[in-house]
Amino acid sequence: MATGLCVAVVGATGAAGQTTLRILEERKFPVRELRCFASERSVGKTVTFLDEAVPVRKVEPEAFRGVEIAFCSAGSAQAKEYAPMIVRAGAIVVDKSNAFRMDPNVPLVVPEINPHAARGHQGIVACPNCTTIVTVMPLKPLHDAGRLRRVVATSFQAASGAGVNGLDDLRQQSLAWARGEAMVPHHFQHQLAFNLIPHIDKFGSDGYTGEEMKLVNETRKILEIPDLPVAPTTVRVPVFTCHSIAVNAETDQKISVARARELFAAFPGLTLWDEPAENRYPMPIVVEGQDDCYVGRIREDLSHPRALNFWVVGDQLRKGAATNAVQIAELLVRG
């Protein structure tokens, strides 16, 4: 850590924070000094970065003096408290929570899609929801080629999207099943192992959940289409890592399957994985650990002449969170 920037990671002991440390290593982000923070119960523990043990500190204003880039992987309530404090200490904050995403003064950035938005930051840049990131990656090239008119998206979201508690819940339920014991949920509302739960986040008065409205509002902001009709459904599935989304996209101009394949294959951050005759299509077990989002099952909508159906899978801990955040920081460093 001889040259580079003073970097902070808030929430360093959680799933997203741990992945952020790994991505910083993998992408060789210019870290001169690393400061790690977590909840008070984790203070005094250590995390590993570049084979060194880094102590976990308490979040307090003086601890951020000299920090230039801070990654915030805390919850929304904590982010609302921490991020402005960290900005006042002189750092730029890349926040992964829902706290600032829809703030008109805070850019919401997916670097492959709207890097220009990052230039307008006032100290905080927001990282979108993991499901939104995976969904918008293939939507952007379709919009550029044919202008989106309507999107229907049904997500199948991994347990780790709920953090380490979600992972533990699925793991313990699966082990209980193997032992012939009762599967008791501790984090999710219902048993997740061998089940599907069509409920992520709180229900609104209209019957839509918070997770579904994130997909609607964030997609519009990132693609800069404020009136885009988006019909969302989000489902928690018994998969450890990777979110999968079934998408129906209608465009003003017809885009053929062949043209869509060309657009997806050429777009940075997307991998075309679409050979149905060879049973080759995106699956969580294939995509886990990858930074690209994988897209396949591309076919024309039988019910509409200008719509396509496709299936996209992304590792929500990487591109859906940590990788996207580090890419934002790389944009900020480049200026």
Say if residue 306 is exposed, middle or buried (CB neighbours under 10 Å; 0-12, 13-18, 19+). Answer: middle
Say whether pLDDT at 254 is over 50. Answer: yes
Can you give the CATH number for the domain in which 48 is found?
3.40.50.720
- Give the span between the Cα atoms of 301 and 263, in whole angstroms: 18
Reported confidence tier of residue 164, pLDDT bands at 50, 70, 90: confident
Question: Alpha helices, DSSP H only, in the chain?
Answer: 15-26, 76-88, 130-146, 163-178, 210-223, 257-266, 284-287, 323-334
Query: Based on the domain organization, do 149 and 241 belong to the same domain?
Result: yes
User: Domain span at residue 224?
Assistant: 132-316
Query: What's the mean pLDDT in 134-140?
Result: 98
- Give the span between the Cα atoms of 333 and 69, in whole angstroms: 9
Query: Based on the domain organization, do 164 and 111 belong to the same domain?
Result: no
Query: Based on the domain organization, do 155 and 177 belong to the same domain?
Result: yes
Query: Based on the domain organization, do 197 and 275 belong to the same domain?
Result: yes
List pLDDT tens digits, range 43-96.
Answer: 989 999 999 999 999 999 999 999 999 999 988 999 999 999 999 999 999 999
Query: Based on the domain organization, do 171 and 304 belong to the same domain?
Result: yes
> In total, how many domains does the chain have?
2
Catalytic positions, written as ranges: 130, 243
pLDDT given at position 2 = 54
Query: Based on the domain organization, do 304 and 167 belong to the same domain?
Result: yes
pLDDT given at position 1 = 43
Query: Based on the domain organization, do 112 and 241 belong to the same domain?
Result: no
Percent of the chain with pLDDT over 70: 99
**pTM (2 decimals)?**
0.95
